[in-house]
Amino acid sequence: MPPQHHDTHVASETTRLIPQNTNGLENDPFSFHRKRIILLIVSFCCFLTLFTASSFTPVIPQVADDLGTSGTVINFSVGLYLFTGGLGSLFWSRYAGYYGRRPIYFVSLFLYFIASVGVASCTTVTELMVSRALQGFGACAFQSVGAAVIADIFRLEERGRAMGTYGCLALIGPAVAPFVGGLVAETVSWRVMQAVQGLLGFIALAFVIACLPETMRLGTRGIDTSNAMDLKEKRAARLVFLNPLSPLWLMKSPILLITTIAAAAIVITEYVMLLPLAYIVGRRYDITDKAIIGALFLPYGIGSMIGMPVSGWLSDRSINKWRSLREGRWIPEDRLRATWLGSLYLVPISTMGLGLVCQFVDGTPGICLNMLFLLTHAIGMCLVVSPCSTYNVDVMQDRSAEAVAAKNAVRSIIVSAAIFGILPTIEAIGVLWTNVLASCLAWIAFGLIYVCIRYGPYLRAWSSVKHTDESSRT
Per-residue pLDDT of the chain (474 residues; tens, 9 = 90+): 333 333 333 333 233 344 433 333 355 677 778 888 899 999 899 889 888 887 887 788 788 888 888 777 887 787 788 788 878 878 887 888 788 888 999 999 999 999 999 999 999 999 999 999 999 999 888 877 887 888 788 876 677 678 777 877 777 777 777 778 878 887 888 899 999 999 999 999 999 998 888 888 776 676 766 554 444 555 545 667 777 777 788 888 899 999 999 999 999 998 898 877 766 777 777 777 766 777 777 888 788 878 878 887 888 888 888 888 888 888 889 999 999 999 999 999 999 999 999 889 888 888 889 889 999 999 999 999 989 988 887 888 777 767 877 887 788 788 878 877 887 888 889 889 999 999 999 999 999 999 999 998 888 888 877 776 544 433
CA distances from 173 to 12, 75, 139, 192, 279 (A): 38, 20, 13, 17, 22
Closest C-alpha to 165, from 40, 54, 48: 40
User: Which contiguous run of DSSP H or E holds residue 158?
Assistant: helix 156-170
419 in a structural domain? yes
d(CA 113, CA 205): 9
377 in a structural domain? yes
Contact (Cβ atoms closer than 8 angstroms) between residue 159 and residue 122: no
Question: Burial level of 437, CB count in 10 A (0-12/13-18/19+)?
Answer: middle
What confidence score (pLDDT) does residue 462 get?
86
Question: Burial level of 31, CB count in 10 A (0-12/13-18/19+)?
Answer: exposed
253 in a structural domain? yes
What confidence score (pLDDT) does residue 279 get?
67
27 in a structural domain? no
80 in a structural domain? yes
Which residues span the domain enclosing 310? Answer: 32-219+243-462
13 in a structural domain? no
d(CA 35, CA 153): 7
What confidence score (pLDDT) does residue 327 get?
80
CATH number, residue 86: 1.20.1250.20
Total structural domains in the chain?
1
State the Cα angle at 85 between 80 and 86, rounded to 5°. 105
CA distances from 472 to 5, 253, 275, 393, 458 (A): 17, 9, 41, 16, 9
What confidence score (pLDDT) does residue 268 get?
93
320 in a structural domain? yes
Contact (Cβ atoms closer than 8 angstroms) between residue 91 and residue 169: no
Q: How many CA atoms lie within 13 A of 54 on its CB side?
A: 29
d(CA 92, CA 98): 10
5 in a structural domain? no
